[in-house]
Each structure stands twice: as C-alpha cells, then as structure tokens.
C-alpha cells in the first residue's frame, strides 16, 4: 500500500504540476482528503486573464485583418505579410511563457492542470495572438465548470472557427471541417456517426463566423435554413442544435470520461470504472468538478498500479522541475527551446487531435535532453540543442526561425543557469540526518516503484558539506529516468 506521502504527491502530480519544495516536509502527515479540498478551494476563483494583446491593433489587425487583406499574392504585400506573421508568433511565444509561469506558480493548480488538458482536447493552431489569448481564457474560466458550456464557448471562438474553416462555411457550399472534428475529436469519437451526419451537421453550422472585433457572429444570410437529419433527429437545425444533439448522446460522456481517465489516472483504461464515471457525468449534465471529485477521492485512484505509471509530458516535466526547484531564469526563451526539442510547444499542437502522449514523449534524443534539463538549470553543464523546424510553428519563415534557434542554442551552450532558492530545499530536509538524505530526497521526487540507488546517487554527489550534498543529490535524482514518471 502506498504511503501517505506518495498518495499526496500522486494527487499533486495528477491534479496539478507536482509538489513544491516548501511543502515537501508536510506531505508525510497531511490528510489526502484535506489536500484535495485545498486544491478545490484554491481553484474556485475566476482566473485573471493572461494578456499579451490588449487592443485591436495588438492582435486582430496583426492577425486576421492583415492576413485576409494580404492573402492576395501581390509582391508589394509579401514583406508586410511576413512581418505580421512574425509579430503574432512573438505574441504567442509570450502567451506561452506567461501561461507556463502561471502553471508553475499559481495556487490554482487544479484549474491550470485541467486547462492544460482542455488545451490539448480543443487543439488549435492559428497565428493570431489575440485569438489564442481569448480561447485560453475561455478554457481557463470553464475548465472546472460544465462541459456543455465549455464546448459551446470554444465552438464559437474565432480561434476554432478560423482553424477549422467555418468562416468559409456557407449555404450551398458547406465546409465540413468543423462538423467532422466536433463529432470525432470533441464529443462522441469515431464510430458513432456517418458521413451523412457530418454533411448535414455542416449545413447546420453555416453562417457561424466572427467579425473584426473578434466576436462571434451568426450570418443569417449565408445560413442554410432547410431541414437536416443528424444522428436520427430532423429539423431546421442550426449549430447550437447540433451541439445539443451531440451532448444528448451518452457516447459523448463516455468519450470525454475515457480521455480524462487516460490523462489523470492511467493510460491503460479500466472500462468498468470509465463506464460508471461516464454514467454519473452524463446524469450530472456534464459537470466537470464532480467527475474529478469522484476520481480523486476514490480508493482505486491511489492503487499502486496507477502511481508512477504515467510518462510526464514535456510541459509537466518542465513545470514540475521548476515547482520543486524555485528559481528565476536568466533567459525565459530557453523554455521555448526545451519545448521544441521535447516535442510539446503550447499553442502549437501537431494537429487537431492534439498531442498523442504516452510513449510518444520518449525517443533516444528527447530522453537524453530530459535527463540533462536539471543540470542545465543548476549550471552544472551546458548542452547544445537544435530542434527540428516545424514550418507551421515557424509561420512559413524558416530563415527567421533558424536565426532565433541559433540564438537560443548559443544561450544554452553558455549554461542557461538559473538562480535557485536552495534555502527552501535545505529547510525541507533540515530534520533528516545525513545518512537518510538520499532516501528522503528520493521519496519526495520519485513516484515510480523503481527505486533510485542510494549508493549511485551518493557516489556522484558532492560530499564537501551538507548543503552541497543536498544540492547535488537533488539534481542527480531529478536527472534519473525514474523522475520521468509520475
């Protein structure tokens, strides 16, 4: 049976981004139920907006307005188009770093963790920083609320409408992209609808678009008002009607619950548990927090088979290290480079299906980088990183992206040092006698049932003083394969 400490750390990793150094000492005795209640309490408040574009000129004109006007391939517009793309890319990079910082430092760990989940569920890639900012706020505000409300708000966001081409969805010329993905990826999942359902649903979504203020608009003049038949129901449906039909299907509750279970509990799905959770989720009218409560207060969530069974995503890994090692970075742009090399850049999912997760996070290159991240932060060594260039991420400007990568690469080669507040970690272990330090540090960092060899950690740690030993032992344990699991 898992100890109280391991249970608490399990909860903090799955319902947040891991423990912090200052609470490491208290996790042995703190009741897990009270810890869960505290996670709820600190996440109830409406989140402040993470803002990088404050006005129309900051975001919209740089993004959609200019892109629409510059889509004409006239030579005189080429340089301006490239400039606008780069400005928006920089805005999204700022949004990325600000949200990552919020994940690390916010008390609202549960809200930010579920926002991270929904960010991958409603995966979009658009070049407009204002649009991405507004979608992120929709997700963060609704992350613990009602899935139906979240679905409707996301579906009407300019980000989603632009990404899946619904701005071009008009009577007589329906665009099926959004209708297809809302069924396949956002609600029911494959196998529960037909091609005819998609075609009819696309007709219902005609007229859904947005204006130059970034507001949803229903353009009645291009909406198909005829009868449609979707999933066995017929009528002169519009987009809201289709979303209501999708929410009326139990398959939607099952699909969402299974995905949440895989994200929070275990990649290996226990179908009987998912069915029970999904039934309650459906009966609640898709209330998210009660579903999370059922998971995190259950005995089975803390079964040993669920602890240390999940490979940390790159964002979870980076956030977790920085939560445990309170630090200030010399250059936050190193965070972007780590994300690129490790394969998960916020706001740039690989496709509309989001990041696959699981074993896809690990290959020979990414594993070596993962193991070196703590060394870079502590300035013990420098590494040279050259990520593959994703042309979507580079916004079609490979030359500019290469320059930026080279600058980051030079920075990483200089060590990428961070100022770590070691006193908080020394305090966490002040009552532990020297012979027990490696075991105590390991217990605070490792969730995997595989133990870290105390002899090996000691052999490669600095024994010149107690403080030096703690520093080097922490970094060495953070650099083990076992730390990659949560």
Q: What is the pTM assigned to this prediction?
A: 0.92
Q: How far apart are CA 87 and CA 197, in angstroms?
A: 40
In a domain, 347, yes or no: yes
| Predicted local confidence at residue 406, as pLDDT | 45
Residue where one domain finishes, among candidates 285, 306, 327: 306
Residue where one domain finishes, among candidates 421, 451, 467: 421
Q: How far apart are CA 7 and CA 303, in angstroms?
A: 9
**Residue pair 383/376 in contact by the 8 Å Cβ criterion:** yes
**Residue pair 13/444 in contact by the 8 Å Cβ criterion:** no
| Predicted local confidence at residue 388, as pLDDT | 58
| Predicted local confidence at residue 63, as pLDDT | 44
| Predicted local confidence at residue 82, as pLDDT | 62
Q: Could you tell me if 397 and 447 lie in one domain?
A: no
Q: Could you tell me if 300 and 393 lie in one domain?
A: no
Domain that holds residue 18: 4-41+250-306
Ranges in the chain, pLDDT < 70: 55-87, 380-417
In a domain, 370, yes or no: yes
| Predicted local confidence at residue 6, as pLDDT | 97
Two tokens at 403? 């320059």
| Predicted local confidence at residue 54, as pLDDT | 72
| Predicted local confidence at residue 332, as pLDDT | 75
In a domain, 150, yes or no: no
Q: How far apart are CA 476 and CA 94, in angstroms?
A: 31
In a 3-state reduction of DSSP, which class is residue 449? coil
Number of domains in the chain: 3
């Amino acid at each position: 049976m898992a100890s109280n400490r391991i249970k608490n750390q399990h909860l903090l990793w799955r319902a947040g981004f891991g423990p912090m150094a200052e609470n490491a000492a208290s996790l042995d005795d703190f009741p897990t139920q009270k810890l869960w209640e505290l996670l709820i309490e600190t996440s109830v408040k409406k989140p402040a907006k993470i803002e990088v574009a404050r006005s129309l000129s900051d975001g919209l004109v740089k993004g959609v307005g200019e892109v629409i006007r510059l889509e004409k391939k006239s030579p005189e517009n080429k340089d301006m188009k490239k400039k606008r793309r780069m400005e928006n890319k920089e805005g999204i990079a700022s949004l990325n770093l600000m949200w990552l910082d919020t994940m690390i430092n916010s008390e609202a760990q549960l809200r930010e963790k579920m926002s991270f989940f929904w960010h991958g569920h409603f995966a979009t890639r658009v070049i407009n920083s204002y649009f991405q900012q507004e979608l992120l706020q929709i997700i963060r505000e609704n992350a613990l609320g009602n899935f139906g409300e979240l679905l409707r708000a996301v579906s009407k966001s300019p980000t989603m409408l632009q990404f899946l081409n619904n701005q071009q969805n008009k009577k007589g010329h329906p665009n099926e992209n959004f209708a297809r993905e809302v069924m396949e990826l956002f609600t029911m999942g494959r196998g529960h609808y037909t091609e005819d359902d998609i075609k009819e649903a696309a007709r219902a979504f005609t007229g859904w678009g947005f204006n130059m203020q970034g507001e949803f608009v229903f353009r009645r003049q291009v909406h198909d008002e005829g009868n449609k038949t979707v999933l066995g129901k017929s009528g002169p449906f519009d987009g809201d009607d289709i979303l209501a039909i999708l929410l009326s299907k139990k398959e939607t509750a099952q699909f969402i619950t299974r995905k949440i279970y895989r994200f929070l509990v275990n990649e290996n799905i226990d179908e009987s548990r998912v069915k029970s959770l999904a039934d309650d989720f459906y009966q609640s009218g898709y209330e998210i927090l009660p579903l999370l409560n059922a998971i995190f207060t259950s005995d089975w969530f803390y079964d040993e088979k669920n602890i240390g069974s999940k490979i940390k995503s790159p964002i979870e890994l980076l956030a977790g290290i920085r939560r445990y090692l309170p630090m200030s970075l010399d250059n936050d742009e190193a965070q972007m480079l780590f994300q690129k090399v490790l394969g998960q850049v916020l706001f740039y999912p690989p496709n509309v299906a989001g990041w696959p997760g699981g074993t896809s996070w690990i290959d020979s290159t990414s594993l070596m980088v993962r193991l070196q991240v703590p060394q870079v932060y502590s300035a013990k060594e420098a590494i040279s990183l050259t990520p593959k260039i994703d042309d979507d991420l580079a916004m079609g400007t490979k030359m500019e992206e290469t320059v930026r990568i080279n600058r980051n690469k030079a920075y990483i080669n200089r060590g990428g040092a961070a100022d770590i507040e070691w006193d908080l970690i020394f305090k966490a272990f002040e009552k532990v006698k020297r012979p027990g330090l490696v075991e105590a540090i390991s217990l605070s960092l490792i969730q995997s049932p595989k133990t870290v060899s105390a002899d090996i950690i000691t052999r490669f740690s600095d024994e010149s003083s107690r403080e030096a030993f703690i520093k080097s032992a922490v970094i060495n344990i953070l650099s083990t394969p076992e730390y990659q699991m949560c």
